Amino acid sequence: MNQPLSGIFTPNITPLDARGRLDEDKLRAYVDWLIERGVHGLYPNGSTGEFVRFTPEERRRVIEVVVDQTRGRVPILAGAAEANVAETIRACDLYGSLGCRAVAIVAPFYYRLAPDGVFAYFKEIADQVSIDVTLYNIPAFASPIDVATVKRLAQECPRVVGIKDSSGDIPHMMRMISEVRPIRKDFFFLTGWDASLVPMLMVGCDGGTNATSGVVPELTRAIYEACKAGQWERAMQLQYRLLPLFDAMIATLEFPEGFRRGARIRGWDLGQSRQPLSPQQSSAAEATQRKLQEMLAGFDFVQSRPSPNREIAPGASDEVINRIVHEVLSQLKTL
């Protein structure tokens, strides 16, 4: 039976070495850290991972490394968007053969397509691939996926099992859920907009693919657990702690540089993005990092990362996760 696409999936940053190449050792260590700190799944080759700035071969190597290091501990939702249908299908089948739970495919980008074109694109892929497909709606960067198209794909394509929506549009999400859930109870809804994580979970989302989980996985885990327990007041208290962190990381720098800076504060120097920064942007990045340092200092779980060679004791991860969630919730009791 396939693992559910629920909980918090981390769209992880892609670590680069001093020469701008994929740093495989650091990626492996970062994967271990994220899993130990409580994420429910991994989402390599997403927007936070800057997939468009890597070659197809590099993207495939990222998936190979993440799958190998994860060793089945959590499900992997692999970004599989390529520049055309044939390459996307090839990537999907490869990732399925490697053991990924599903793939996420962004709607066609660069060329803005009408809804019929978006439907035709996804149907062509879904009818041919050997792995479950999650639609990826990010209208800021790609052709939008409207409610009618989601419903039509859910009806006609069994391989389409969910949608990751990064619009942040709560009514849009509610309309999708109300149209699709009655006909596909197995269809998953994930939010990619951290600023509305709790409201999205409240209206029926199954989880999220949240960039802040790559910096504060303990906090996003605690939010999800509070929502699952119906502790909505506590969940909103946590959401208001998450909101300024997300705003600082996403709004003040070229995306996703702010999240690289946040990870650095947690002890993860994941290298420089392949997008060059001007001197002014570099100064702004340093200022943002200092601001984030002050913000994160208020959390007890912010500490140096474990050694990259540290092994996670078999069977110990649940205990570690429960302790971390307890620490976060205890810290925020006075809010």
Break the chain into its structural domains and give their ranges. Answer: 7-329
For residue 133, pLDDT beyond 90:
yes
Mean pLDDT of 278-285: 90
Q: Would you state the pLDDT for residue 251?
A: 80
Q: Which of 47-61, 144-158, 287-301 has the lowest mean pLDDT?
A: 287-301
pLDDT score at 303: 54
pLDDT at 97: 97
pLDDT category, 293, cuts 50, 70, 90?
A: very high
User: Of the listed 43, 121, 151, 164, which one is catalytic?
Assistant: 164
Among the options 121, 136, 151, 224, which is catalytic?
Answer: 136
Q: Which residue has the higher pLDDT, 181 or 317?
A: 181
Burial class (CB in 10 A: 0-12, 13-18, 19+), 29: buried
Mean pLDDT of 277-306: 83
pLDDT higher than 70, residue 319: no
Query: Please, what is the average pLDDT of the chain?
Result: 90
Residue 330 pLDDT greater than 80, yes or no: no
| Cα dihedral across residues 40, 177, 1, 14: positive or negative | negative
Whole-angstrom distance between the N-terminal and C-terminal Cα of the chain? 41
- Return the CA Rg of the chain: 19
pLDDT-based confidence at 305, cuts 50/70/90? very low
> Does the pLDDT at position 52 exceed 80?
yes
When pLDDT is averaged across residues 199-210 and rounded to a whole number, the result is 98
Are the C-beta atoms of residues 211 and 256 closer than 8 Å to each other? yes
Residue 164 falls in the annotated catalytic set: yes
Mean pLDDT of 21-46: 97
Choice among 17-26, 104-113, 163-172 with the minimum mean pLDDT: 104-113
Using alpha carbons, list the distances in angstroms from residue 310 to 15, 99, 152, 307.
18, 25, 47, 5
User: Is 136 considered catalytic here?
Assistant: yes
The CATH topology of domain 7-329 is TIM Barrel (3.20.20)
Burial class (CB in 10 A: 0-12, 13-18, 19+), 293: middle
pLDDT score of 242? 97
Give pLDDT tens digits for 163-192: 999 999 999 999 999 999 999 999 999 999
pLDDT in tens, 74-102: 999 999 999 899 999 999 999 999 999 99
Residue 312's pLDDT band (boundaries 50, 70, 90)? very low
Global confidence as pTM: 0.88
